[in-house]
Amino acid sequence: MSKIIVLGGQGQLGQCLQSVCEDKAMVFLSSKEADISNEAQLEQWFIQYNPSHIINCAAYTAVDKAEDEKEEASKINTIAPGILAGLCKRFDAILIHISTDFVFEGNQTGLLEETSIANPTGVYGQTKLDGETTIQQIWNKHIIIRTSWLYSEYANNFVKTMLRLAQDREELKVVADQVGTPTYARDLAEVLCKIIDNNITEDEYGLYHYSNEGVASWYDFAYAVFELSNTNIRLFPIKTADFPTKAKRPAYSVMDKSKIKKQFNLVIPNWRDSLKNCLQRLKEIQN
């Protein structure tokens, strides 16, 4: 039986895949076990498992740090996906690659479609966009999924950071003029499992957008985290200009999910409903 290799297997999406895809023959490789920029090392995993699918959850995601580490970000986000695409072509494996809403500049007001102009404002977004292009040029059997504001009960993310900060602070200020959609990594993991079960056909390969439904600012997101977890803290909205960062974030990155919903017959939950589920699981883990 062919295996499904998950790269970045110890990240939050990788851990969610472990939780929701227990019936599948998956091999979860951490970044230490499989450096996605090391072709010789990756080739050995391909030879060992002869995978039917590769799910690449590994990425350089330190958005601000990337501004100073362009070479490292490019190695992981641009060059490595090309290596993976080349190996997938050699071994005839389907490549499922996770990308980001940061490929957009963030100055549009309508829902962002897969055909909308991508114009990243920082190194992270540019290297991720270049990674998409590299895959598209090398191997046609690919599915690239752009997602946004990923969180879960695993690893480090916005939800867990807010809850941690609330333990020793009486008030917090959160940016309210950056708008997008929070995405529960467990929901995305379930979609990835469904795509694999779908026995992907030639007309289904390509680029897709996936996030939960709905729209929120980071302030809205934080407010919901505290409201739904019954956390008592004073929360204040601020402007992006009041919280300067090295890398510019998209002011607006709400994506249109029509294509992925139609292609794979998906019903996508609202972000608040998924947040409730995540907070419940976090509570169960802590207890």
The tens place of each residue's pLDDT in the chain, 287 residues long, gives 579 999 999 999 999 999 998 878 999 999 999 999 999 999 999 999 999 999 999 999 999 999 999 999 999 999 999 999 999 999 999 999 999 999 999 998 899 999 999 999 999 999 999 999 999 999 999 999 999 999 999 999 999 999 999 999 999 999 999 999 999 999 999 999 999 998 888 999 999 999 999 999 999 999 999 999 999 999 999 999 999 999 999 999 999 999 999 999 999 999 999 999 999 999 998 87
Residue 130, pLDDT score = 98
Strands (E), the chain: 4-7, 26-29, 53-56, 94-100, 142-147, 150-151, 171-175, 179-180, 183-184, 206-209, 216-217, 234-238
Residue 144 and residue 207: Cα distance in Å, rounded?
Answer: 5
Bridge-based pairing state of the strands 171-175 and 179-180: unpaired
Residue 108, pLDDT score = 85
Q: Could you list the active site residues?
A: 124
Residue 287, pLDDT score = 74
- CA trace torsion 185, 189, 194, 196 (10° rounding): 140
Whether 267 contacts 122, CB under 8 Å: no
Q: Which positions ≥6 away from 199 have C-beta within 8 Å? A: none
Q: Is 266 exposed, middle or buried (0-12, 13-18, 19+ CB in 10 A)?
A: middle
Residue 1, pLDDT score = 55
Residue 60 has a CB neighbour count (10 Å cut-off) of 22
pTM: 0.97
DSSP, collapsed to helix, strand or coil, labels residue 131 as helix
DSSP, collapsed to helix, strand or coil, labels residue 33 as coil
What domains appear along the chain, each with residue ranges and CATH number? Answer: 4-153+183-213+254-268 (3.40.50.720)
Residue 262 has a CB neighbour count (10 Å cut-off) of 9
Residue 286, pLDDT score = 81
Residue 198, pLDDT score = 86
Residue 48, pLDDT score = 96
DSSP, collapsed to helix, strand or coil, labels residue 265 as coil
Q: Is 111 exposed, middle or buried (0-12, 13-18, 19+ CB in 10 A)?
A: middle
Whether 209 contacts 112, CB under 8 Å: yes
